[in-house]
Amino acid sequence: MEATDPEDHSLRSNRSRRLLALALVPLCIGFAACGGNDEAPETQVIVPEATAAPATTDRNIVDGYLVSATPQHVVVRTQDGDVTYRIKPRDAEALGIGHLASHAGAGDIGFRIHLKEIDGERFVKGAEEIPPPF
Phi-psi region of 3 (alpha: psi -120 to 50; beta: other; left: phi over 0): beta
The Cα–Cα gap between 95 and 87 comes to: 9
Query: Among 128, 110, 129, which Cα is nearest to 64's?
Result: 110
- For the chain, the domains span 1-35, 61-130
Is the whole model's pTM more than 0.85, yes or no?
no
Note the CATH number of domain 61-130.
2.40.50
pLDDT per residue as tens, the chain (134 positions): 555 555 555 555 566 666 665 666 665 555 555 555 556 556 666 655 555 555 667 889 999 999 999 999 999 999 999 999 999 999 988 999 999 999 999 888 999 999 999 999 999 999 999 999 98
